[in-house]
Structure 1
């Protein structure tokens, strides 16, 4: 069998290859090259650049801000302070909360714990501070009647007016008509209208955004000020799945839409710029742009353009690509050079993904240097690239002016509500146009998006913050990036470890694969094809000589190396060997056991193509899920290796009387039975086995009968790493035979099990009834996992998190979301978006990148879920679809409406989400109902109210609580995973206490005075 990802056919030219080659290149190398090119310019111009920029900073500091200006407020309540962040949290959430009760909770949450006095501020800010301080004291004194008072329409109206004032600083108008009326265009003041903030989650949203763009263009067409106006278009707003995995559909459906919008803009004599997106989407954006430029209807148009982010390491080859395309199509391109807006998010994403390096610069000074090198390159593209420099930095502006050498064919750009005094100062000296990037839309829709921009531009390291700080010397405020590299060589920010080193010296992060890097995906696809599954050999003694068929539910039947089920004789031999030899392994130093597990982790990564291919074929995993599972297995090896050294290598000395040594040590128990499930046939399997081995135990490993091949290869690699054959035994077979016999045998010193609660109870009963010592059962079982969403949550974030939590892996995760509690006040807002987003999920062959959902594990599981849905057909409010030509155990995702969790009798282990409403004041009742079901595995909370989050944390009986994110994907050592009640015995897998359960504790007491005195006491000296 050959697995194919269905990768898109992107352009294949040297510039595109260079673009890919610099994706994660070393930061120091790129910055050194930039400095080498820029230094001659800087050396000759630095004095004038600094003098000019310093003059503008002085002018800004003497400029009197309007009393209600947000910048004035941020000088009193900076974003680095709790007060500043509280104000922004109010601004981000308050206007979209429809009910007064939750709005009152948010207000109390953000103001009651802080001192709001602002005695040194301008009078309006002082008055606002006094009002907030009065309300704070009022809250503390009248806590019992607080919510009724805070929910008073007058108080809420006052607060919402205040937040609307914040919004008005950054939003030009709630409609394009209002924005045009408010705009003040002139020869030096231009506008680029941005119609929205967040991207589309559904096709309905995409069509609505397309309509908004076309309406704005038509409206601007009839306005008086046409020539210098433009519109900004966000590609992710025009397609709900703007990712590489869906590139084929993006290119099929988005390109014609973008051409239509571009034709309208050209007809209206407007420029159109494609906005920057996350760095992972760059290649896709360029491919879309190339196909649009190739349209006959747009030949010779000079109004098209792209925003390019300077914080990307691929900035320079991107500009080279744009220049080449502009020449090739004879179409001059506008280039809006920006610093970048998603820096903190991009850093986190690369760390979580375990990538080789970051796709962007980790130092602000490196981004500033990159920006100036980009400006230089844009000027070099004279006639092909039309320069537009978006910046609020005086040094950058001064440098660009120096680079221009008197040219006038360029412009600056700034955000609406930011940097106006600076550009007023600049334009007194230079009549260079400045374009205002002006968001247009409803406050409640745009403010969350714009607050993130404010946080970016208002951070302490930002020039926007420094320029108003009168205590900071002008030379320091200028923040000359060249000075940062005068005495030191370029390097990355060592305070931000590489993704592989994010855990410090304790262990290396597992190696990831970039799911948006087309070049890397092609290489991975080729490597998987080289180890085609027909050629996989399993050296286990339980592998068959002949080959057997397994059903790949995502495709058709394939012949692969089979696994023979073990016999009772095999079981007896394994038990006896393990029982006789386990002490030799237990006596092996923990550091040596750790060394073997570390080597195993390296072998797993070396054999990644082999394991990933089999996870897709035998396990029915999508590539993303397969990669995550392989990485989790690697993380288990390394984490437990490190924990073994920490906890098992040396005894821990305990305090006690002088003349006596007291220690406690952890030692292996004997032989552990490891019984793993099919839904994580590699990660959970390896997690169980390596935990037992690290603790000094022998292991009898019994994999799920549906996925024996993956387990067999994992065992083979552990043996290759150095785990003795007589210590680690592989026993595939039916649970009814092998499992029961294994658990009942008195030579088993402990059982670790992941699976159903029913089976865990059965195992527990078997252990209790057998002869011999009492032994531990370490069980992780299922859950009726809930997510609680109140009306302060951002709907787009809710939909994203719910879709991932409920439907990723076809819902076949223990941690998957089973019931969503939506506050009734936002039910009618969130549900249509959620239903539409679910219907967009593509069910298909898991080897294809375009597939969002693969199959469930087998036909029996498929039939069971379909039977449940048939029985509850009247409650189904939405159902996805399965392509008619798709053969296998595929299930269309479904949403089922319930009144509450009390109606959910059992866990439905598949892509089925239940939804229930709740009233804002019923939160305690909801928590109680969830607790009363007795499960306690995972829970999600989506809220902007810290007190609500804290309340749920205190009262929910749940093992893993996730706030404002998805509920799945626990990371080893970061989010130790496991439940309580009916969801497991604990301790948590991948946590600091897990190995302890695999061990016995032994205390050693030595009276050292018995052999003649107490040397420690006698040589102690006098204090």
Structure 2
């Protein structure tokens, strides 16, 4: 008898709906067939939008405390089913199990923060008499739901990045049509089930899977969609921005994040932290460290100790408890990574460790003497590859970090407060982490980038602001 294969249908209007066609979902590590996933057709996507629009009035009219309680219940369900959720992430994304558990824990926090924000969405009074002609008036602002939101999410944090879009949307009273990454749909469908159990009105959250281009094009063109929130590549982000008309758009795109290691820092403390920032989830993190700039006085000893720390990482099955590095999301990404590294080596870069692959796993790789024009430096590699280069002065280090089309987050380790403040002022990024890695993020902080790293901010409070309209109300008291 064949093993049971899950047949995952669409989630529209508070129920599962079969699709005309399904596609195989395979585990990126061993290519095992783990589910058949519905492929949404045009009418399915239109039905999801219609379902969301029908739910808008009911969701928006729910008292804030009710929306908050729904979000709290989802966080509670996630706590109860933490291990199951972690295994879903691990299987479909090849995320090492300990990293998958950490993602579930962060997802719980994200929905908890969303429940808090649902209770404190408010406006402010406006001093109308500050201008001539404004006297005798009382004015205040309120925040109202923007409407149906289309959320398009990536594979690398299939629960928490969904939460960063769905959480604030529900907190603010906006229904959602969610299009998760094709490789990681099961996490999204699981969340839809939890919201249904928590009492979310039918149609307030719909999940449609299928081709990113075909589903995305429908969402972009439909006037019932009032906002698109997207996390993914700059190329797709630009396409969405250019084809969404007057919809509000927030984009969380790529990066080639850098960290500066100033002279005088404690390498025993710094190096394990940088290894974590460079190789967590195989480097498939938007703020993963890709470029390391080390003061020339520390370069030799830093490189030697860094490589020794990288040797401690264990590769293998993502479901094994001690695995640190597992397969990249696709065999095509392994091949692309190999090509980029080989190109850099052919141009004069040196390999200190790694540079090989097997069974979908690209070995943790450390390069030196990489030219800034190489793809492993100037593009987003999204793989367990970093390079170490030297600098002489802080001005030079900051210029090298800024020599990038991206600007999401950057880090600097220094004992010199002036260098820290200089970096904070001059680094062209959305977030500067002083004495920490650029990969640092907690889920209530504002998060987003500049240049090709995107536009708009996430972090629940800040996302709620993006997902609401500000209305002014003025009373003439005469």
Normalising to structure 1: TM-score of the pair? 0.43
Question: CA deviation digits over 1:40-86, x for unaligned, max 9?
Answer: xxxxxxxxxxxxxxxxxxxxxxxxxxxxxxxxxxxxxxxxxxxxxxx
Instruction: Indicate the RMSD between aligned Cα atoms, in angstroms.
Output: 2.5
Partner of 1:736: 213
- Paired residue secondary structure (2:461): coil
How many residue pairs get matched?
A: 463
Partner of 2:32: 557
Q: CA deviation at 1:978?
A: 1.7
Looking at secondary structure, tell me which structure has more helix per residue: 1
Bigger shift: 544-553 or 703-712? 544-553
Looking at secondary structure, tell me which structure has more strand per residue: 2
Partner of 1:635: 109
* 8 Å contact kept, 1:876–1:894: no
Which residues of 2 match residues 457-468 of structure 1 at below 5 A? Answer: none
Q: Distance in 1 between matches of 2:189 and 2:342?
A: 38
Structure 1 residues 971 and 791: alpha-carbon distance in aligned structure 2, compared to 1, 3 A threshold: same
Structure 1 residues 911 and 899: alpha-carbon distance in aligned structure 2, compared to 1, 3 A threshold: closer
Q: CA deviation at 1:876?
A: 3.6
Q: Distance in 2 between matches of 1:550 and 1:735?
A: 15
Structure 1 residues 798 and 682: alpha-carbon distance in aligned structure 2, compared to 1, 3 A threshold: same
Structure 1 residues 751 and 883: alpha-carbon distance in aligned structure 2, compared to 1, 3 A threshold: closer
Is 1:872 aligned to residue 336 of structure 2?
Answer: no
* 8 Å contact kept, 2:55–2:202: no
Partner of 1:913: 386
* 8 Å contact kept, 1:542–1:566: no
Q: CA deviation at 1:672?
A: 0.7
Which residues of 2 match residues 471-870 of structure 1 at below 5 A? Answer: 540=11, 541-542=16-17, 550-555=25-30, 557-560=32-35, 562-648=36-122, 651-657=123-129, 660-768=137-245, 774-870=246-342
* 8 Å contact kept, 1:533–1:614: no
Q: CA deviation at 1:627?
A: 1.4
Q: CA deviation at 1:901?
A: 3.9
Partner of 2:451: 981
* 8 Å contact kept, 1:674–1:699: yes
Q: Distance in 1 between matches of 2:456 and 2:264?
A: 34
Q: CA deviation at 1:853?
A: 0.6
Structure 1 residues 694 and 550: alpha-carbon distance in aligned structure 2, compared to 1, 3 A threshold: same
Which of the numbers 992, 1006, 1017 marks the counterpart of 2:461?
992
Structure 1: runs of 5+ lacking an equivalent: 1-531, 769-773, 1010-1023
* 8 Å contact kept, 1:615–1:621: yes
Partner of 2:132: none
- Paired residue secondary structure (1:640): helix
Q: CA deviation at 1:860?
A: 1.7
Q: Distance in 2 between matches of 1:689 and 1:663?
A: 28
Structure 1 residues 644 and 837: alpha-carbon distance in aligned structure 2, compared to 1, 3 A threshold: same
Question: CA deviation digits over 1:699-723, x for unaligned, max 9?
Answer: 1100001111111111111122122
Q: CA deviation at 1:1007?
A: 2.2
Q: CA deviation at 1:912?
A: 0.7
Q: Distance in 2 between matches of 1:704 and 1:543?
A: 19
* 8 Å contact kept, 1:691–1:995: yes
Structure 1 residues 905 and 881: alpha-carbon distance in aligned structure 2, compared to 1, 3 A threshold: closer
Q: Distance in 1 between matches of 2:223 and 2:244?
A: 9
Structure 2: runs of 5+ lacking an equivalent: 130-134
* 8 Å contact kept, 1:639–1:990: no
Partner of 2:435: 964
Q: CA deviation at 1:980?
A: 1.8
Q: Distance in 1 between matches of 2:456 and 2:162?
A: 17
Question: CA deviation digits over 1:591-635, x for unaligned, max 9?
Answer: 221121111111121221221111111111112211121122111
Normalising to structure 2: TM-score of the pair? 0.90
Q: CA deviation at 1:934?
A: 3.4
Q: CA deviation at 1:929?
A: 3.4
Q: Distance in 2 between matches of 1:544 and 1:605?
A: 31
Structure 1 residues 570 and 859: alpha-carbon distance in aligned structure 2, compared to 1, 3 A threshold: same
Partner of 2:476: 1007
* 8 Å contact kept, 1:899–1:917: no
Q: CA deviation at 1:671?
A: 0.9
Question: CA deviation digits over 1:4-45, x for unaligned, max 9?
Answer: xxxxxxxxxxxxxxxxxxxxxxxxxxxxxxxxxxxxxxxxxx
Q: Distance in 2 between matches of 1:726 and 1:546?
A: 22
**Higher RCO (C-alpha 8 Å, min separation 6):** 2
Q: CA deviation at 1:910?
A: 0.6
Q: CA deviation at 1:857?
A: 0.8
- Asked which structure has the greater CA Rg, the reply is 1
Q: Distance in 2 between matches of 1:805 and 1:993?
A: 25
Q: CA deviation at 1:656?
A: 4.2
Structure 1 residues 654 and 546: alpha-carbon distance in aligned structure 2, compared to 1, 3 A threshold: closer
Q: Distance in 1 between matches of 2:409 and 2:207?
A: 31
* 8 Å contact kept, 1:901–1:930: no
Q: Distance in 2 between matches of 1:557 and 1:961?
A: 41
